[in-house]
Structure 1
Amino acid sequence: MAVGDTLEILADPGQRLLFWIPLPEVRVAEIVEGNGILHYQIENRGSNGFTMLMDIEEAREVLKIGVEDYYNALIVSNRGDFLTGERFTDQVVASIKSLVGEEVVVGEVKKDSLSMVDQGNIGLLFLMLSVFAIFAGVLLLTNIYLMLAQERRTELGTLRAIGYSRKRVSRTILYEGFFYSIFSSGIGVLAGLGIARFILGSFVNLFEDAVSLIPFEGANIAFNSMQSSFVFFVRIDSIAYGFLLGLIIPMIIIVYTGRKISRTNIVTAVRNIPEELDERKRLLLNVMAAVGVLVSVVMAYSGYSLGNATGFFIGVMLAGLLIPVAIPMKNKRWIESFFSVAVIVFTMFSNSFDLIASNSGSSIYLTIAKGAAILLAGLFLIVYNLKTFEYLLNKLFQKARAAAPVFKISIAFSARNRLRTGLTIAMFAAVIFVITLISIIPYSMEQMLVKSRDVVFAGFDVGAFSFTGNGSISFSELQSQPEVREISTVAGMNVAVRKDDRYGLEQIYSVDDSFIDNNRLVEIHYNGELDISSPSDLWKYLRDNPDTVVVSNSVLPDVKPGDVLELRGVIDQGDNGQGVSGLLRRNVTSEMIDSRPVYLKVIATIPENTISFLNGLLIYKENVPTELSGNVAERQYLFNLAGASEGEKKGNFETLQDKIASGSLFLLYVDDIINLTSTMLQGTISILRSFLYFGMLVGIVGIAIIMFKALHERKRIIGMLKAIGFTKKMVFSSFLLETSFIAIIGIVLGIVTGTLTSVEIYASPLMEGMKLYIPWDQLIAMTLIFYIASLVSTIIPSYSASKIAPAEALRYFE
């Protein structure tokens, strides 16, 4: 379609028969972007793929509407832009109803759309991923600025010696840090905008790939309409927050380190002698940790008393991590290790508490808290035992006489600088932790999806559905097709199911003999009191016993075999329950339901499965109570395809699809659904994983910076080592081994804690019945890639260290 084209308007479908009457014509004056008002749909009208805009009077004339001031609907725009205007929705609705009365239906289109987006938790998902990426970034900044302060320690001590006040010394390093931070924050914001644009483009490309797998007409039109709504938009406050966050965090670290250096002994600072905690500072740290333990205990008690699972869990977790710090002892490695392991064990078995179990899986904040607890406890356990690692590794490699000195030197530096090593390990572990999570959980979902093939259409190959509720082909016509083997008719009915003191609208499906004989639903929980030993016995029992029903736990999760359900027929279904709209779940009022109750006994339940098209109640068609039989919402066909192989079945499906060229009846092949869902799942996870790869750069850059810093710090030591016989190869190897030690511990810690968190998530009551699958090949590949990348990033400083001449190094003074 182009500007200047002429269109004929068919206002009344009956005019198709009156071919001698000319249709009104309109000319396309302009084609506008497909967003905003172009996506508005009138109530109870289906999407036609496009919208035409005309002057109201001309439209009435073209459509032969002779009633003045006639409107299908009025569209109201609130004050403000397309986001902030939603805040005034309640006031506008109240004003409209005060003017025109309560009988007018007011649709809160923008408010409902934004609410639906918020319920999708996309923002919370990226927030959860960003929390750990931000944590890794904060650790990198802390490490860098602590090293900066350490590097400036001698110069600042000299300034103190020649008369600078403590205040001026603090300002000196503050100004230097501010200069670095102001530029890096600006560059970081621009890089963040580029990454956000890349992620949005990836999502659009994912939809393009997925739409090619949708096996019915009109998918491209629907996608083009959806695609136009993906517009890259950046709010000014988001830029401001990101810039300020990147500026404030370094400033806090610099202010702390500057103040600390300004109070350091001048002689100690000038001679660059490492400063250790004295008894006074140790006691202050113990007291602060004890106060933290007390606050954590109060937080845990308050959370438990108020029913706040997240508060209770965080309180217990912080208390467990702070107790070792509060104990005034020097050698307390066993105590520190015990409490770190105790926090992990408590987290893994936290669902033993009813308060936590009832919120596990449904609270994103509790999930983040559990993951953080396992990660932090694992990190503390590693840092507390760095010298133990050093001892064990030295014992392991002491027999390798040539490599033993190199190994001992490389491990000694990392083990004795616990703060710097711990921060670097944490950078790696935090990002690997999240990557492991989004590798294991989606992989488990994908494996369950493949294994759930027989659940989608109850074991049948194809489902035939009608959007209008009236199929264009009969059962006998479909059955007579040579491509069709067994065929079953399933009739969906809207019924009101009593849930405590209210009624909810659900679907009850009446199944025929073909369904009873040919379905392949095997994961079913039976009523132990009945004489049922196999799925075939169950379906025969359903057919032979009236007033019995099989229930899917996807719609009624609390129902168990042996329960009795109260059902009532639905009188007023609003949209008459036709087509897919009849499947919408919503609460019903007493005026909408029949007064005659029907009681059905649950003989079995089907475990939760979100991809099944029969999520509801199943009953044999001849046993449907008369009180419910008048509420048929839609009829659908399930059938198996002829063919001995998957290729033959797919070919028969395409042939049958060509024969049934209907806009009202479309066919879905079970493998197409599996492929579509798998493609969307894998594509989404790939996008999220690529988002985290940028965070992984933080760890790789961090370890490269540390190695460059180590090169300058150890220049004199390297000269001494070479003077006593170390070769270039040994110096080079020592740097690479130090990098390997830090990177491997960080990567392994991230994988182990991520796996433990995945196990804990799947142990929650919300994930009951779901199995955990671990993609070992993906985790091994990820480990090798990040390990090699870490080694590559340190080749330059390692090579530079190996080239230092002993005489030059021994004369070096930083």
Structure 2
Amino acid sequence: DPGQRLLFWIPLPEVRIAGIVEGNGVLHYQIENQGPNAFTMLMDVESAREVLKIGVDDYYNALLVSNRGDFLKGEKLTDEVVKSIREIAGEEFVVREVKRDSISMVDQGNIGLLFLMLSVFAIFAGALLLTNIYLMLAQERRTELGTLRAIGYSRRKVSKTILYEGFFYSIFSSAIGVLGGLAIARFILGSFVNLFEDVASLIPFEGANMAFSSMQSSFVFFVRLDSIAYGFLLGLIIPMVIIVYTGRKISRTNIVTAVRNIPEELDDRKRLLLNILAAVGVLFSIIMAYSGYSLGNAAGFFTGVVLAGLLIPVAVPMKNKRLIESLFSIAVIVFTMLSNSFSLIASNTGSSIYLTVAKGAAILFAGLFLIVYNLKTFEFLLNKLFQKAKAAAPVFKISVAFSARNRMRTGLTIAMFAVVIFVITLISIIPYSMEQMLVKSRDAVFSGFDVGAFSFTGNGSVSFSELQSQSEVREISTVAAVNVAVRKDDRYGLEQIYSVDDSFIDNNRLVEIDYDGKLGTSSPNDLWKYLRDNPDTVVVSNSVLPDVRPGDVLELRGVIDQGDSRHGVSGLMRRNVTSEMIDSKPVYLKVIATIPENTISFLNGLLVYRGNVPTELSGNVAERQYLFNLAGATEGEKKGNFDALQDKIASGSLFMLYVDDIINLTSTMLQGTISILRSFLYFGMLVGIVGIAIIMFKALHERKRIIGMLKAIGFTKKMVFSSFLLETSFIAIIGIVLGIVTGTLTSLEIYASPLMEGMKLYIPWDQLIAMTLIFYIASLVSTIIPSYSASKIVPAEALRYFE
């Protein structure tokens, strides 16, 4: 008939393969209408015309255009090149921006954004370290700078003295930091390549290694000059901002107190100014919270409430306000944990990345303020606890007293530990919970069957009876998928009905389901039998219809255009349903049970018994799959039978997946990715370890005379050495525990959100304990040198020492 297409085949000559081209450059390019399993042959034009029997000269179905410049600079010329092609070829040609699309696809993965977010915490920890260092530097230079002020130096000159010294340190450290960053980036890239190799070895079908090797070859270490420049400038600007603040602060120190090295406290004027600034901040926070609530901005509302809670204690004009500071810090943590009780916050949790970050930051900083405000309380409690240990009591009292009395320095050091540990805890708990849920969902992946077999073509060359006759197969079920239109409010969406047979009803192990208690069924097994015995009933997966509940009635319509049935698994792709595709006669099915949304399963759709599928919905089968159990008493025997079955059934049209292979593959990808992210953060943890080492060296310098006095009144070398180690332990343990506790609380809050409803939280205690021990031991090791040096101080020399 006119309008129909006539397809015919002609025999083509054999060709000899001269070589295999790597995936570089052509990795993401596919010829128009090329199938997913097709390949690309590269030949010269004349040879291709001869082989393909193309008798038309100067005929091409595609032209590849290479822009000037490298792969990044050339992409920027795409608009100009497309414009030139349009002027020459006209509008009837389709121009595909292959390189731009490929780069855009990579950028959409947000890998760079993920590492940037993780870097923010490391940068923040580094800023805390720099603040600590330059405050200690200013304190060390205090007497000299006070003397310079006394002999005529202006405040500006004193500030510049600190500025120039800090600039000298920063410019060299920034350069070294850039080199270190490049080394870390190279290490992370190599880790990703190794992860791909591990994943490729676990994929159970031919060609996986070749496909992944092409992807691996595309991972090339590349550094742009502007990235180096940005890193260097950022590493220079952050220290300089801190140095300017420190220099300004030290230049305003009273000359007499500076020369005599008397600790300077806040006077009434400065304390009043601080109270006023905090009060202004509280007012601003209240306005932010009100505006956020009025405008429906959950992040603004939450941030305003939290800031107000943290600033109110600072605004209160009281000297001893430890109790009110502690109460408001606890209130902020409680508010954050219960924030999902507000409908505005609950509806935005999960969809707003800013709200999620704000919640984590609120718990972290409220916990940090709670600890810093109560350092003296810790000192009192610990002294009471160890006062009966007569030999150790003096050592313990000295070590804790120095930390508790210097709140600023101790608080900044604790914060360095807590910030990085907080992030490491988060990226340990959440993926671990996902992995545990995957392992516990083994029976849900293929509904309790061991293997899922899918046809790429829709008409598999391996029949049901052929599979059933294999000795490696124990029970087998056939599931057919049919596209249907499901009414959702005032529109229709394309979903799939899975028609299941008797073998599925009798052998599936989907027990984590919510069903209607009025049906008279006492167990999930009875429910599946009820589905078979009662027409017009359906079991729905909440992953595709999240708002459906048992007892609801669904309106379905048949889809006239089922698509090409030969496309096999491509039938899983969701399409927009147009009015031309929908059958006019509706069908109503009662929902008797729902499969929870968090269930990991290949059967995400509507499950109906095969004999009860309404005739209005029984169109062309979009996809057919086999589910079967393997013979064998142990997992090893089943895996052996699966491998034997794969060797026996060498069919390119049947793709078989063993459930344990899927779990192992997913677990490997999760663990590998998290290990890379965790190792990236371990470099940030070095900031905390270096920070505590610097503090101990500074303590050695500051307390030289005090150590001499202690040794003169009877302290031994061992007691002095132990006091330094105990001080390190006090700071490190509080920082590590604070990071773990706040990270765990944030994880609990995330899993309590409506987005994570039904998902369980699992805490990897072994990983957290191991991390705690490693970082604690590393902190102790970093302070051995100053501790040993302190123990070797001679009392007579120390007592004659003046700073």
Superposed pair shares fold, TM > 0.5: yes
Is the Cα–Cα contact under 8 Å of residues 38 and 50 in structure 1 kept in the other structure?
no
Matches within 5 A, 1:659-698: 659-698=648-687
**Can you list the C-alpha shifts for 1:535-582, whole angstroms capped at 9, x where unaligned?**
122212222222222111112222222222233333446665712222
Matches within 5 A, 1:322-341: 322-341=311-330
Structure 2 residue identity aligned to 1:732: F
Residue in structure 2 matched with residue 438 of structure 1 by the alignment: 427
- Please state if 1:275 is matched with 2:278: no
Compared with structure 1, are the counterparts of its residues 365 and 43 closer, same or farther at alpha carbon in structure 2 (3 Å cutoff)?
Answer: farther
Q: Distance in 2 between matches of 1:657 and 1:129?
A: 43
Residue in structure 1 matched with residue 4 of structure 2 by the alignment: none
Matches within 5 A, 1:717-796: 717-796=706-785
**Can you list the C-alpha shifts for 1:61-119, whole angstroms capped at 9, x where unaligned?**
33211245544445566788645777787998899899989987665655655555455
Structure 2 residue identity aligned to 1:167: R
Matches within 5 A, 1:225-304: 225-304=214-293
Q: Distance in 1 between matches of 2:682 and 2:728?
A: 19
Alpha-carbon offset, residue 452 of structure 1: 0.6
Q: 2:467 aligns with which of 460, 474, 478?
A: 478
Residue in structure 1 matched with residue 610 of structure 2 by the alignment: 621
Residue in structure 1 matched with residue 796 of structure 2 by the alignment: 807
Q: Distance in 2 between matches of 1:96 and 1:572?
A: 37
Compared with structure 1, are the counterparts of its residues 85 and 245 closer, same or farther at alpha carbon in structure 2 (3 Å cutoff)?
Answer: same
Q: Distance in 1 between matches of 2:746 and 2:254?
A: 46
- Please state if 1:561 is matched with 2:550: yes
Structure 2 residue identity aligned to 1:796: I
Is the Cα–Cα contact under 8 Å of residues 41 and 47 in structure 1 kept in the other structure?
no
- Please state if 1:454 is matched with 2:443: yes
User: Which deviates more, 45-54 or 71-80?
Assistant: 71-80
Residue in structure 1 matched with residue 309 of structure 2 by the alignment: 320
Q: Give the TM-score normalised by the residue count of structure 1.
A: 0.93
Compared with structure 1, are the counterparts of its residues 457 and 235 closer, same or farther at alpha carbon in structure 2 (3 Å cutoff)?
Answer: same
User: Which deviates more, 164-173 or 176-185?
Assistant: 164-173
- Please state if 1:134 is matched with 2:123: yes
Q: 1:23 aligns with which of 6, 14, 19?
A: 14
Q: Distance in 1 between matches of 2:701 and 2:38?
A: 66
Is the Cα–Cα contact under 8 Å of residues 38 and 51 in structure 1 kept in the other structure?
no
Q: Secondary structure at the match of 1:612?
A: coil
Is the Cα–Cα contact under 8 Å of residues 505 and 588 in structure 1 kept in the other structure?
yes
User: Which deviates more, 737-746 or 166-175?
Assistant: 166-175
Is the Cα–Cα contact under 8 Å of residues 436 and 750 in structure 1 kept in the other structure?
yes
Matches within 5 A, 1:373-384: 373-384=362-373
Q: Distance in 2 between matches of 1:151 and 1:359?
A: 49
Alpha-carbon offset, residue 467 of structure 1: 1.7
Residue in structure 1 matched with residue 625 of structure 2 by the alignment: 636
Is the Cα–Cα contact under 8 Å of residues 477 and 626 in structure 2 kept in the other structure?
yes
Q: 1:405 aligns with which of 363, 388, 394?
A: 394
Q: Secondary structure at the match of 1:321?
A: helix
**Can you list the C-alpha shifts for 1:710-764, whole angstroms capped at 9, x where unaligned?**
1001111111111111111111111011001000101111111111111111101
User: Which deviates more, 526-535 or 589-598?
Assistant: 589-598
Q: Secondary structure at the match of 1:37?
A: coil
Instruction: Give the alignment's Cα RMSD to 1 decimal.
Output: 2.5
Structure 1 residue identity aligned to 2:155: R
Alpha-carbon offset, residue 503 of structure 1: 3.0
User: Which deviates more, 49-58 or 636-645?
Assistant: 49-58
**Can you list the C-alpha shifts for 1:173-221, whole angstroms capped at 9, x where unaligned?**
1011011111111111111111111111111111111111111111111
Structure 1 residue identity aligned to 2:14: L
Q: Secondary structure at the match of 2:759?
A: coil
- Please state if 1:369 is matched with 2:358: yes
Q: Secondary structure at the match of 1:406?
A: helix
User: Which deviates more, 122-131 or 444-453?
Assistant: 122-131
Alpha-carbon offset, residue 663 of structure 1: 1.4
Q: 2:331 aligns with which of 300, 318, 342?
A: 342
Is the Cα–Cα contact under 8 Å of residues 378 and 753 in structure 1 kept in the other structure?
yes
Is the Cα–Cα contact under 8 Å of residues 598 and 759 in structure 2 kept in the other structure?
no
Q: Distance in 1 between matches of 2:95 and 2:578?
A: 19
Is the Cα–Cα contact under 8 Å of residues 457 and 463 in structure 1 kept in the other structure?
yes
User: Which deviates more, 473-482 or 209-218?
Assistant: 209-218
Q: 1:541 aligns with which of 511, 530, 551?
A: 530
Q: Distance in 1 between matches of 2:562 and 2:366?
A: 54
Residue in structure 2 matched with residue 396 of structure 1 by the alignment: 385
**Can you list the C-alpha shifts for 1:12-55, whole angstroms capped at 9, x where unaligned?**
9966xx6xx85355755xx7652223431124423457533344
Q: 1:224 aligns with which of 213, 225, 242?
A: 213
Compared with structure 1, are the counterparts of its residues 619 and 302 closer, same or farther at alpha carbon in structure 2 (3 Å cutoff)?
Answer: same
Alpha-carbon offset, residue 441 of structure 1: 1.4
Q: Distance in 1 between matches of 2:585 and 2:419?
A: 59
- Please state if 1:502 is matched with 2:491: yes
Compared with structure 1, are the counterparts of its residues 218 and 37 closer, same or farther at alpha carbon in structure 2 (3 Å cutoff)?
Answer: closer
Structure 1 residue identity aligned to 2:551: G
Compared with structure 1, are the counterparts of its residues 13 and 402 closer, same or farther at alpha carbon in structure 2 (3 Å cutoff)?
Answer: farther
Residue in structure 2 matched with residue 8 of structure 1 by the alignment: none
Is the Cα–Cα contact under 8 Å of residues 448 and 771 in structure 1 kept in the other structure?
yes
Compared with structure 1, are the counterparts of its residues 332 and 733 closer, same or farther at alpha carbon in structure 2 (3 Å cutoff)?
Answer: same
Q: Distance in 1 between matches of 2:75 and 2:284?
A: 40
Compared with structure 1, are the counterparts of its residues 439 and 404 closer, same or farther at alpha carbon in structure 2 (3 Å cutoff)?
Answer: same
Is the Cα–Cα contact under 8 Å of residues 457 and 670 in structure 1 kept in the other structure?
yes
Unaligned runs of 5+ in 2: 1-6
- Please state if 1:171 is matched with 2:160: yes
**Can you list the C-alpha shifts for 1:648-683, whole angstroms capped at 9, x where unaligned?**
211211111111011121211111111111111111
Alpha-carbon offset, residue 427 of structure 1: 0.5
Q: Give the TM-score normalised by the residue count of structure 2.
A: 0.94
Residue in structure 2 matched with residue 3 of structure 1 by the alignment: none
Q: Distance in 2 between matches of 1:168 and 1:602?
A: 80
Q: Distance in 2 between matches of 1:108 and 1:558?
A: 40
Compared with structure 1, are the counterparts of its residues 498 and 128 closer, same or farther at alpha carbon in structure 2 (3 Å cutoff)?
Answer: farther
Structure 1 residue identity aligned to 2:690: V
**Can you list the C-alpha shifts for 1:453-491, whole angstroms capped at 9, x where unaligned?**
100100001111122222121000110111111100011
Aligned residues: 797
Is the Cα–Cα contact under 8 Å of residues 553 and 605 in structure 1 kept in the other structure?
yes
Is the Cα–Cα contact under 8 Å of residues 547 and 600 in structure 1 kept in the other structure?
yes
Compared with structure 1, are the counterparts of its residues 263 and 747 closer, same or farther at alpha carbon in structure 2 (3 Å cutoff)?
Answer: same
Q: Secondary structure at the match of 2:618?
A: coil
Alpha-carbon offset, residue 251 of structure 1: 0.6
Q: Secondary structure at the match of 1:608?
A: coil
Q: Secondary structure at the match of 1:127?
A: helix
User: Percent identity of the aligned residues?
Assistant: 88
Q: Distance in 2 between matches of 1:686 and 1:655?
A: 34
Alpha-carbon offset, residue 60 of structure 1: 2.5
Residue in structure 2 matched with residue 208 of structure 1 by the alignment: 197
Q: Distance in 2 between matches of 1:777 and 1:490?
A: 42
Residue in structure 2 matched with residue 493 of structure 1 by the alignment: 482
Compared with structure 1, are the counterparts of its residues 504 and 331 closer, same or farther at alpha carbon in structure 2 (3 Å cutoff)?
Answer: same
Q: Distance in 2 between matches of 1:343 and 1:95?
A: 60
Residue in structure 2 matched with residue 7 of structure 1 by the alignment: none
Unaligned runs of 5+ in 1: 1-11
- Please state if 1:423 is matched with 2:409: no
Q: Distance in 1 between matches of 2:370 and 2:644?
A: 62
Compared with structure 1, are the counterparts of its residues 505 and 304 closer, same or farther at alpha carbon in structure 2 (3 Å cutoff)?
Answer: same
Alpha-carbon offset, residue 396 of structure 1: 1.1
Q: Distance in 1 between matches of 2:561 and 2:185?
A: 47
User: Which deviates more, 719-728 or 583-592?
Assistant: 583-592
Q: Distance in 1 between matches of 2:620 and 2:296?
A: 42
Compared with structure 1, are the counterparts of its residues 92 and 511 closer, same or farther at alpha carbon in structure 2 (3 Å cutoff)?
Answer: farther
Q: Distance in 2 between matches of 1:783 and 1:108?
A: 50
